[in-house]
Amino acid sequence: MPQILKTIEEYVVNDRKRNTFFMVFNTVYNDIHAFKKEPEINSLDGIFTSYLNKEFSDNKARNEFLQFMKKEFPNTELIEVFDLVDSSYMTYPYLGSIAIDCEENDEVYNAICKKYEDSDGMALSNNAVFWVITYDMALKFYKEKKEAWESELE
């Protein structure tokens, strides 16, 4: 059954209204943004065949995360969200990202850090990366995307 999902920035601005933590399971997205690897993209078409392609979302890692959360923190809300991408992308597929109702240094946050990060706070692998987006950053991206949509509809 189809469902309506918010972008991570839309969720932060309209619902959570504070810094928000989320998991990204798209290996290309994580390679570029967490591990600072140069994308192998040389055309707009290449973006959708690699960067924004749901085939590069690690569903095994995503399911393991969901099982971990269900077992360890069954009362923690998990919200499916669209990834943070440049406002020039008007449409793109759902890549499996999940916002987590936790606060910095709470029990849930610390358990996720322990499971998915090294002692320096760096991701252990590219298949499941724990991210934070500040409210101010989300608001900036939300406004940019809203303006892009409004200009597209004029």
What pLDDT digit, counting tens, does each position of 39-85 carry? 665 555 555 556 678 888 999 999 999 999 999 999 999 999 988 87
pTM surpassing 0.75?
yes
- Helix, strand and coil percent figures for the chain, each rounded to 5: 45, 15, 40
Compute the radius of gyration of the chain from its Cα atoms. 16
**Residue 17 falls within a domain, yes or no?**
yes
pLDDT score of 62? 98
DSSP state of 43: S
Total count of domains within the chain: 1
Please give the Cα distance from 12 to 68 (Å, whole number): 24
Write phi, then psi, for 9 (nearest 5 degrees). Answer: -70, -35
In a domain, 138, yes or no: yes
Give the integer Cα–Cα distance in Å for 65 and 98: 10
- Report the amino acid identity of residue 58: D
Structural domain harbouring 11? 6-153
Residue 1, domain member (yes or no) = no
The least confident of 53-57, 65-69, 110-114, 139-143 is 53-57
Sole residue written with tokens 């099982």: 67
